[in-house]
């Protein structure tokens, strides 16, 4: 599997990372180096093998239904780059 | 179990310019699970709080924060599955659905793609007495709700409130078994009713606690039957998904207008693109959300912060044992035990509080039919006039039963009973005491009635002659006697005596 | 007492309890050592005022007779741990200015035990790296130096390793996703243990790859590792993957007696082109354990070869999702946006200038392997191979092997910048001996056992059975006793 610049562009877009056009070929090459390395996995016979769901299996922890958190608007907004009137403000989202 | 037999309704047919078309509809209903706290955090689910106040660090996806599941959400989903007679999966797992949006702080929604907690079930959607649609449920999974973005507070900015972020939802996915706009609305209505009976969702559509994505396609008559035989979707048309509908009226309107849009495309030789659309109620049209869709590749994978959710059959059995009587069973029982019409039984079981009220009245009064009449016609009408809910009815079931008992004992007439009802409704009090105190008890003393009849006959010889020729006119005498006794005379006794005295 | 910063945890603990020294004195000694060591780039956020306040509180506790093991002992904290009110950036520009309103579970446990925080330590950005060269703060530097080159302290816990080796703290926290505790420990001549996955809570530690990340101590010897690990471990109801198991007294298990223990030597770890000094170190270590009474057996871990490619699917995939939250909306850096830019441009610019090159690369690789059409070919296949890798270990443990001895790294520390032009896979090979342990969720410890031909420290790794850190630490203790490694870097900074 060889990654071309179009694929690199699409992946960068999916990851929401701006990559300038002239950087795409080098990025695609890096992907190819790494994916070439990963291709080794195709040698392994995985027929009938379960994919790992948990490396140290145990029962999923559960909580009781009760309000134990929240009421901390100041702390939630304390690190915000732009907070206004109790909201996080972001550049306009067009729906 | 009690069952009411039913037939399937006819599918809605829309006449196109060239020929007829049928609709095929499947729905994904998002129901907010009724809980105190969120799915993976201890923050409150309360609606209408100050922005960003019902938010834990994990809801805001602060670095290093981790989810821990609210066990009651799981229980509620299982309860819902049982209520929809569905398969409960003892093994389920959570997956991340990855996409960027400002009201999705983690950059992914925790959902259940590969292993949902509930599998196949069914819902009987009543259309009219004896007519209902059986809609198959494909699956129910648990997932996180997103926050809220507000776009109209500032011309250049959108504002984000995370209060709803991480609230637990059940996504209830139906098979494409719904065949018209009315059925679609009725399906949502029936689901809502069952969820409210179960107490797993409050069904408040206005607050967005119950919303539906509607998949609509159209096909030529006969195609759907081929799909049914083979379960092969290629017999059906290409579907469009109308997102996020939270009103029954809009659901119907949107389906209708979307179906007509698709028909117009197909009849002019075009093809329908599978896509996500938004319904605009002001313009009554759907429009494409393609811009939002093009980059979507959700990259689902199992959430490594959570282990698979394994539940025990005994736990499920315990929930099953605690399930309340559900609308279909209750309705069938009302028909059978109280001799109600299916229509009356439907009305009374629409909301569980109504049904409980009715049962209390019927039990105390010892007459189901009379109780049904009074609850449906008098009580509901009066409450509606005041825009009140049954839960704050000023007339208690005991009071209403008291009125019915007075009617049954012949102590008051139906007409007087309505007056008594109004008094109880507005002033309260014990119906029997009111009747006593206000002297409303009807006269059953035949001597007094005979005298009143004699007086009326004596005063109206011409009418007597007419009545003797045309017995239908005897009713006039009954009316006169009732008037003379201030309505307190027992109408049956009056009737009997009038007939006798007139020699009819 | 002089050179208090050079004390080990156990020594300082005993001195504090005897009243020979105060926590404030220990802390001041470390703070002044830190002041003179900026050339090492180990500390990235110094917190002297907090340190002195904590030291005073610890001294009061000691006086009152309430002194847990760590009470009054000054530690450095890896920047990956969220520390309340103190910058916690994971060495990334994208978390510029971020001060958490909460404290990670591990640091909470350490501070509840009375430990003193000296400051935050350098690391590779988001723990992605093996040389501490991807940090937004600049490189951390190895205090060991044998020529005019500056050497890497390893990564990702490079600042922690550098600080412990240079006595800029008594011990430090680290985290290990593919070797990030053990490799830098080996490069700097110190001890580092990654416990069984689920031993230490991950709550409040900036996530890299959730199914692999574990915190652990980086210390001057095995006893210190035992003491500090015990304080870091324990069940946390806030982490669904944290194990609800009792934590034993690890220090009490250090008897040095390993008679009758079976030590496995995996043949697959004899890599082509491995330096002779590493082969020799490993052979010497094997002899030491044998001399101490252990039974040595050759074992096979047949899927070893596939561990690195498996890791480089799973870790980037999880990271691509874990790092989606760094979007400039709720915390950290937001890029300046241009006229007409909307939310998408804000995301793309913020993440392009906020993430360094290696992080961007891994996020995009992870995005690719999870994308439509590739999930089964890459991610699901890697999860299946991971099952096989874990089974390799289960099989040898089932055959009676108590611990496995391997080299910790394929080489001694290399020069900063030397790998700059290599393709990324060359750098990834640094983790070849350590990454299997993360994939299998096992405990692994790196112990310095000798100096290489150039005079740089080298370490061996011991891998234990799940949840048996106590036994593993004891084997490591026996190895440490036998090796008698005491070399320290000469101060040049």
pLDDT of residue B493: 81
CB-based contact, A49 to chain C, within 8 Å: yes
Task: Test C309 with A37 for CB contact under 8 angstroms.
Answer: yes
Task: Test C240 with B108 for CB contact under 8 angstroms.
Answer: no
DSSP state letters, B171-227: EEEE-S-B-SHHHHHHHHHHHHHHHHHHTS----TTTTSEEEEEEEEEE-TTHHHHH
Q: Give the minimum alpha-carbon distance from A65 to chain C in angstroms, rounded to a whole number.
A: 14
Rounded to 10°, the helix B446-459/B461-469 angle is 100
DSSP state letters, B397-424: HHHHHHHHHHHHTTSS-HHHHHHHHHHH
Here the ipTM equals 0.97
Of A76, A85, A92, the CB nearest to B55: A76
In a domain, A30, yes or no: yes
Q: Give the minimum alpha-carbon distance from C317 to chain A in angstroms, rounded to a whole number.
A: 11
pLDDT category of residue A93 using cuts at 50, 70 and 90: confident
Residues of A in contact with C197 (CB under 8 A): 55-56
Catalytic residue flag (residue C162): no
User: Phi and psi for B174 in degrees, rounded to 5?
Assistant: -95, 165
Mean per-residue pLDDT, B327-351: 95
Rounded to 10°, the helix A24-38/C357-370 angle is 60
pLDDT of residue B453: 87
pLDDT of residue A95: 59
CB-based contact, A70 to chain B, within 8 Å: yes
Which residue in B39, B61, B104, B158 has the most chain A C-beta atoms within 10 A of its own C-beta, making it the best mutation to test that interface? B158
CA dihedral C231, C235, C240, C241 (to 10 degrees): 70
> What average pLDDT does the structure give for chain A?
94
Of C329, C364, C388, the CB nearest to A15: C364
Residues of B in contact with A55 (CB under 8 A): none
Would you give the distance in Å from CA C316 to the centre of its chain?
18
Task: Test C370 with B299 for CB contact under 8 angstroms.
Answer: yes
The number of C-beta contacts closer than 8 angstroms across A and C is: 171
Q: What CATH number does domain C4-259 carry, 3.40.50.10480, 3.40.50.720, 3.90.1300.10, 3.20.20.70?
A: 3.90.1300.10
Residues of B in contact with C325 (CB under 8 A): 61, 63, 105-107
pLDDT category of residue C130 using cuts at 50, 70 and 90: very high
Active-site entry in C88, C104, C156, C201: C156
Task: Tell me if the bond preceding A88 is cis, omega within 30° of 0.
Answer: no
Task: Test C104 with B300 for CB contact under 8 angstroms.
Answer: no
Task: Test A41 with C310 for CB contact under 8 angstroms.
Answer: yes
Active-site entry in C157, C160, C162, C180: C180
Q: What is the pLDDT of residues C270-312, one digit of tens each?
A: 988 889 999 999 999 999 999 999 999 999 999 999 999 999 9
Of A57, A90, A95, the CB nearest to B160: A90
Structure tokens at B135: 């809609």
The number of C-beta contacts closer than 8 angstroms across B and C is: 100
Percent of chain C with pLDDT over 90: 95
**pTM, 2 dp:** 0.93
Q: Is the pLDDT of residue B3 over 80?
A: no
Distances (CA, A) of C332 to B435, C94, C321: 75, 6, 18
Catalytic residue flag (residue C339): no
Percent of chain B with pLDDT over 70: 98
Task: Test C364 with A31 for CB contact under 8 angstroms.
Answer: yes
> What average pLDDT does the structure give for chain B?
93
CB-based contact, A55 to chain C, within 8 Å: yes
CB-based contact, A89 to chain C, within 8 Å: no
Nearest CA in chain B to C341: B156
Mean per-residue pLDDT, A56-79: 96
Mean per-residue pLDDT, B298-312: 97
Q: How far apart are CA B136 and CA C62, in angstroms?
A: 68
Which residue in A78, A87, A92, A94 has the most chain B C-beta atoms within 10 A of its own C-beta, making it the best mutation to test that interface? A87
Q: What is the pLDDT of residues A31-46, one digit of tens each?
A: 999 999 999 999 999 9
pLDDT of residue B292: 52
DSSP state, C415?
A: B
Residues of B in contact with A68 (CB under 8 A): 37, 42
pLDDT category of residue B134 using cuts at 50, 70 and 90: very high
Residues of B in contact with A14 (CB under 8 A): 295, 297, 299
As for how many domains chain A has, the answer is 1
Active-site entry in C78, C120, C145, C261: C78
C201 contacts C236 by C-beta, under 8 angstroms: yes
Mean per-residue pLDDT, B167-192: 98
Q: How far apart are CA C86 and CA C46, in angstroms?
A: 9
pLDDT of residue B1: 42
pLDDT of residue B294: 52
B434 contacts B464 by C-beta, under 8 angstroms: no
Q: What is the pLDDT of residues B92-113, one digit of tens each?
A: 999 999 999 999 999 999 999 9
Q: How far apart are CA B429 and CA B486, in angstroms?
A: 23
Q: How far apart are CA C39 and CA A89, in angstroms?
A: 41
**Bridge partners of residue B310, in order along the sequence:** B91
Q: Is the pLDDT of residue C120 over 80?
A: yes
Segment 13-42 of chain A within 8 Å of chain C by CB? 13-19, 27, 30-31, 33-35, 37-42
Mean per-residue pLDDT, C247-264: 98
Which residue in B47, B96, B103, B159 has the most chain A C-beta atoms within 10 A of its own C-beta, making it the best mutation to test that interface? B159
Q: Is the pLDDT of residue A72 over 80?
A: yes
Cβ burial A12-49 (10 Å sphere, 16+ → b, else e): bbbbbbbbeeeebeebbebbbebbebbeebeebebeeb
User: Phi and psi for B374 in degrees, rounded to 5?
Assistant: -70, -40
Domain B446-502, second-level architecture: Orthogonal Bundle (1.10)
**In chain B, which residues fall in CATH 1.10.10.410?**
446-502
Cβ burial C274-310 (10 Å sphere, 16+ → b, else e): bbebbeebbeebbebbeebebbeeebebebbbbbbbb
Residues of C in contact with A63 (CB under 8 A): 237
pLDDT of residue B472: 83
Range of the domain at A26: 5-42
Nearest CA in chain B to C348: B100
Q: Give the minimum alpha-carbon distance from A18 to chain C in angstroms, rounded to a whole number.
A: 5
C428 contacts C163 by C-beta, under 8 angstroms: no
CB-based contact, C347 to chain A, within 8 Å: yes
Distances (CA, A) of B340 to C131, C310, C355: 81, 67, 70
Catalytic residue flag (residue C411): no
C299 contacts C396 by C-beta, under 8 angstroms: yes
Of A60, A90, A93, the CB nearest to B308: A60
Residues of C in contact with B96 (CB under 8 A): 321
Give the angle subtended at the CA of C390 by the CAs of C384 and C392, to the nearest 5°: 110
Mean per-residue pLDDT, C47-57: 98
Q: Is the pLDDT of residue B257 over 50?
A: yes
> What average pLDDT does the structure give for chain C?
97
DSSP state letters, B231-247: --GGGSPPPEEEEEE--
Looking at C19-77, list the stretches that DSSP marks H as alpha helix, in order from N- to C-terminal side.
23-35, 48-63
Residues of A in contact with B72 (CB under 8 A): 64-65
Q: List subunits contacting chain C, requiring 3 or more Cβ pairs under 8 Å.
A: A, B
Residues of A in contact with C342 (CB under 8 A): 91-94
Mean per-residue pLDDT, B407-415: 88
Which is more confident, B447 or B235? B235
Q: What is the pLDDT of residues C70-108, one digit of tens each?
A: 999 999 999 999 999 999 999 999 999 999 999 999 999
pLDDT of residue B291: 56
Q: How far apart are CA B140 and CA B88, in angstroms?
A: 9
Beta strands at C191-194 and C444-451: parallel, antiparallel or unpaired: antiparallel
Q: List subunits contacting chain B, requiring 3 or more Cβ pairs under 8 Å.
A: A, C
pLDDT of residue A5: 95
Mean per-residue pLDDT, C207-228: 98
B9 contacts A39 by C-beta, under 8 angstroms: no
Mean per-residue pLDDT, B477-500: 83
Q: Is the pLDDT of residue C1 over 90?
A: no
Q: Give the minimum alpha-carbon distance from B39 to chain C in angstroms, rounded to a whole number.
A: 13
Q: How far apart are CA B268 and CA C245, in angstroms?
A: 69
Contacts of B130 (CB under 8 A, 6+ apart): B4, B5, B6, B7, B342
Q: List subunits contacting chain A, requiring 3 or more Cβ pairs under 8 Å.
A: B, C
Task: Test A89 with B154 for CB contact under 8 angstroms.
Answer: yes
Beta strands at B240-245 and B276-280: parallel, antiparallel or unpaired: parallel
- Which of B467-471, C38-42, C464-468 is predicted least confidently? B467-471
CB-based contact, A64 to chain C, within 8 Å: no
């Amino acid at each position: 599997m060889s990654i071309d610049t179009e694929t690199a562009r699409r992946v960068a877009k999916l990851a929401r990372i701006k990559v300038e056009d002239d950087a795409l070929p080098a990025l695609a090459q890096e992907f190819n180096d790494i994916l070439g390395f990963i291709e080794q996995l195709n040698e392994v016979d995985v027929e009938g093998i379960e994919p790992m769901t948990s490396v140290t299996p145990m029962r999923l922890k559960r909580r009781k239904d009760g309000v134990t958190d929240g009421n901390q608007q100041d702390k939630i907004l304390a690190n915000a780059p732009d907070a206004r009137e109790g909201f996080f403000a972001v550049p306009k989202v067009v729906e | 179990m009690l069952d009411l037999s039913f037939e399937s309704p006819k599918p809605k047919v829309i006449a196109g310019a060239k020929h007829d078309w049928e609709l095929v509809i499947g729905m994904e209903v998002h129901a907010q699970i009724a809980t105190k706290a969120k799915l993976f955090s201890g923050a409150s689910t309360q609606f209408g709080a100050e922005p960003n106040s019902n938010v834990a660090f994990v809801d805001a996806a602060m670095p290093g924060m981790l989810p821990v599941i609210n066990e009651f959400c799981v229980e509620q989903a299982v309860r819902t599955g049982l209520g929809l007679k569905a398969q409960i999966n003892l093994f389920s797992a959570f997956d991340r659905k990855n996409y960027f949006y400002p009201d999705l702080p983690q950059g992914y929604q925790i959902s259940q793609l590969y292993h949902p907690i509930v599998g196949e079930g069914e819902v009987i959607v009543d259309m009219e007495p004896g007519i209902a649609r059986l809609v198959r449920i494909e699956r129910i999974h648990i997932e996180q709700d997103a926050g809220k973005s507000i776009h109209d507070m500032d011309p250049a900015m959108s504002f984000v409130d995370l209060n709803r972020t991480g609230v637990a939802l059940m996504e209830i996915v139906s098979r494409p078994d719904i065949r018209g706009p009315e059925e679609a609305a009725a399906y949502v209505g029936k689901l809502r009713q069952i969820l409210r009976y179960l107490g797993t969702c409050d069904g408040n559509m206005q607050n967005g606690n119950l919303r539906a994505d509607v998949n609509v396609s159209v096909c030529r008559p006969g195609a759907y039957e081929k799909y049914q035989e083979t379960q092969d979707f290629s017999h059906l048309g290409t579907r469009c998904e109308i997102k996020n509908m939270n009103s029954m009226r809009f659901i119907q309107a949107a389906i209708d207008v979307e179906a007509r849009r698709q028909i117009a495309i197909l009849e002019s030789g075009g093809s329908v693109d599978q896509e996500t659309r938004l319904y605009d109620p002001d313009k009554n049209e759907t429009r494409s959300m393609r811009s939002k869709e093009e980059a979507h590749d959700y990259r689902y994978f199992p959430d490594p912060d959570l282990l698979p959710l394994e539940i025990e059959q005994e736990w499920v059995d315990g929930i099953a044992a605690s399930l309340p009587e559900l609308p279909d069973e209750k309705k069938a029982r009302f028909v059978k035990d109280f001799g109600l019409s299916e229509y009356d039984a439907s009305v009374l079981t629409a909301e569980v509080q109504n049904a409980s009220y009715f049962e209390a009245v019927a039990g105390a009064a010892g007459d189901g039919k009379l109780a049904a009449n009074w609850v449906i016609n008098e009580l509901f009408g009066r409450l509606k006039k005041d825009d009140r809910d049954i839960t704050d009815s000023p007339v208690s079931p005991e009071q209403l039963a008291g009125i019915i008992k007075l009617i049954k004992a012949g102590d008051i007439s139906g007409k007087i009973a309505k007056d008594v009802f109004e008094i109880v409704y507005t002033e309260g009090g014990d119906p029997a005491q009111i009747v006593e105190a206000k002297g409303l008890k009807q006269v059953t003393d035949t001597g007094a009635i005979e005298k009143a009849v004699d007086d009326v006959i004596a005063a109206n010889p011409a009418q007597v002659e007419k009545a003797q020729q045309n017995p239908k006119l005897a009713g006039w005498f009954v009316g006169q006697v009732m008037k003379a006794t201030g309505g307190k005379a027992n109408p049956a006794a009056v009737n009997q005596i009038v007939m006798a005295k007139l020699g009819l | 007492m002089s050179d208090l910063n050079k004390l080990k945890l156990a020594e300082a603990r005993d001195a504090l309890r005897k009243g020979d020294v105060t926590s404030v004195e220990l802390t001041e000694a470390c703070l002044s050592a830190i002041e003179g060591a900026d050339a090492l780039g180990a500390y990235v956020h110094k917190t002297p005022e907090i340190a002195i306040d904590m030291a005073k509180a610890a001294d009061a506790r000691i006086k009152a007779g309430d002194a847990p093991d760590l009470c009054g002992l000054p530690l450095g904290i890896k920047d990956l741990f969220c520390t309340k009110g103190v910058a916690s950036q994971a060495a990334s520009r994208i978390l510029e200015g971020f001060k958490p309103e909460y404290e990670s579970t591990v640091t909470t446990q350490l501070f509840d035990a009375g430990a003193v925080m000296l400051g935050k330590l350098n690391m590779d950005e988001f723990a992605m790296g093996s040389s501490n060269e991807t940090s937004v703060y600049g490189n951390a530097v190895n205090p060991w130096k044998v020529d005019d080159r500056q050497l890497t302290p390893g990564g990702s816990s490079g600042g922690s390793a550098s600080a412990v080796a240079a006595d800029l703290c008594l011990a430090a926290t680290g985290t290990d996703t593919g070797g990030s505790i053990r490799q830098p420990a080996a490069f700097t001549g110190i001890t580092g243990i990654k416990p069984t996955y689920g031993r230490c809570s991950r709550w409040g530690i900036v996530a890299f790859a959730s199914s692999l990340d574990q915190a652990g101590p980086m210390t001057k010897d095995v006893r210190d590792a035992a003491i500090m690990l015990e304080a870091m471990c324990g069940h946390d109801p806030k982490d669904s993957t944290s194990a609800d198991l009792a934590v034993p007294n690890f220090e009490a298990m250090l008897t040095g007696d390993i008679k009758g223990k079976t030590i496995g030597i995996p043949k697959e770890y004899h890599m082509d082109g491995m330096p002779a000094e590493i082969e020799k170190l490993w052979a010497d270590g094997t002899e030491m354990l044998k001399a101490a009474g252990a039974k040595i057996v050759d074992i096979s871990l047949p899927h070893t070869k596939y561990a690195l490619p498996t890791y480089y699917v799973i870790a980037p995939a999880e990271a691509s999702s874990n790092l989606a939250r760094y979007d400039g909306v709720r915390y950290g850096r937001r890029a300046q946006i241009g006229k007409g830019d909307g939310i998408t441009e804000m995301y793309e610019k913020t993440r392009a200038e906020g993430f360094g090159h290696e992080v961007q690369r891994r996020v995009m690789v992870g995005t690719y392997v999870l994308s439509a059409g590739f999930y089964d070919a890459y991610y699901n296949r890697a999860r299946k191979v991971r099952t096989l890798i874990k089974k390799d270990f289960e099989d040898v443990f089932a055959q009676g092997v108590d611990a496995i001895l391997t080299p910790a790294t394929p080489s001694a520390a290399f020069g900063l910048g030397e790998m700059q032009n290599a393709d990324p896979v060359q750098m990834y090979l640094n983790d070849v001996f350590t990454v299997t342990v993360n994939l299998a969720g096992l405990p692994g410890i790196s112990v310095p056992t000798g100096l290489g031909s150039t005079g740089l420290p080298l370490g061996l790794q011991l891998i234990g059975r799940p949840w048996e850190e106590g036994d593993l630490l004891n084997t490591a203790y026996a190895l440490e006793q036998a090796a008698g490694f005491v070399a320290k870097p000469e101060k040049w900074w």
